[in-house]
Amino acid sequence: QLQVVESGGGLVQPGDSLRLSCTASGRSISSFAWAWFRQASGREREFVARTARPMSSSTTYADSAKGRFTVSRDNAKNTIYLQMNNLKPEDTAVYFCAANFGKFSTTGEEYPYWGQGTQVTVSS
């Protein structure tokens, strides 16, 4: 059974950077496709980025994340990362990582495995 824990959130100022971590246990991250979603207070969950299994280099981003956010992985640490640069107040949300068995999807319902989320607050 896959378990996922996010970390790395916090309070930062506009223009700052954060790196979120998504550490898996129970299974290797290599067995899954991964995605990041976020949910701001009072708003619906939205897709941020997705990455296919390691055998494929495919990674795609929401328009709001393009050019600022980067997904990477460290197989030795069984961890997926979301590097977020030039953060804006509108990036404030709880960020979640999610996994499925290989479906390259932007829809949260396609991901059966979720972490508990980590809060990112961007404010001056």
DSSP 47-82: EEEEE--TTS--EEE-TTTTTTEEEEEEGGGTEEEE
Q: Which amino acid is at 99?
A: A
* pLDDT score, position 13: 98
CA angle 81, 86, 107 (to 5 degrees): 50
At 102, is the pLDDT very low, low, confident or very high (cuts 50, 70, 90)? confident
At 98, is the pLDDT very low, low, confident or very high (cuts 50, 70, 90)? very high
Rounded mean pLDDT, 23-50: 95
* pLDDT score, position 58: 84
pLDDT at residue 53 above 80?
no
Rounded mean pLDDT, 72-97: 96
